[in-house]
Amino acid sequence: MTETRVHLSRSEPEAYKTLEAFTKAVHGIAKANGIDVRLKEYVMLHVSQLNGCAFCVRIHVDRALAAGVTVDEIGQLPTWRDSGVFSDRERAGLELAEAFTFIHRAGIPDDVYDRVGGVLSEKEYVALSWICVSINAFNRVAIAGRYPVPPRSGS
């Protein structure tokens, strides 16, 4: 196996542009349905962590920091269940993110659906679900293409 992979976004730019347009629409839906940028970035970053997508993790760390998420909160994401830094709403979003990322295991289990639905409105649940679909798709494109994540200058 070689390190060089087909770069899906360059090989079929129209398909990639369609995915970008889909994601832009999803972000608009999220905003219109009460999903603040911090929660959106928590979800997108955590999904990217779970999928092992270094490229998207870098992007969403930068976006989370720009949205006012602290370094401590970013560091706590992998241990959100045991951390006291997240609100009930954020915890619901993170639980939904995990269910969507590992949907092949058990779908969205009823207990997760009920727990998350007890915190988020239906519109918020739907908006975050579409965010999860979107970032999972982008993760797969970046991972399949082995998108590079070089050290930052000065790092």
Q: Note the pLDDT tens digit of each residue in 91-149.
A: 999 999 999 999 999 999 999 999 999 999 999 999 999 999 999 999 999 999 889 89
Sign of CA dihedral 143, 144, 146, 152: negative
**Two structure tokens written together for 87:** 């609100």
Confidence of residue 21 (pLDDT cuts 50, 70, 90): very high
CB 8 within 8 A of CB 144: yes
Find the DSSP H helices in 12-109: 13-32, 37-51, 54-66, 71-76, 88-101, 103-106
Q: Residue-wise over 121-155: b if at least 16 C-beta within 10 A, else e?
A: eeebbebbbbbbebbbebbebbbebebeeeeeeee
If you average pLDDT over every residue of the chain, what do you get? 95
> Which pLDDT score is estimated for 1?
41
Architecture of domain 37-144: Up-down Bundle (1.20)
Give the mean model confidence (pLDDT) for residues 61-74: 98
The per-type count for the chain, helices as H runs and strands as E runs, is 9, 0
For the chain, what is the largest distance between any 2 Cα atoms, rounded to a whole number of angstroms? 48
pTM of whole model > 0.75?
yes
Q: φ and ψ at 13, to 5 degrees?
A: -60, -30
Percent of the chain whose pLDDT exceeds 90: 88
> Which pLDDT score is estimated for 40?
98
Amino acid at 12: E
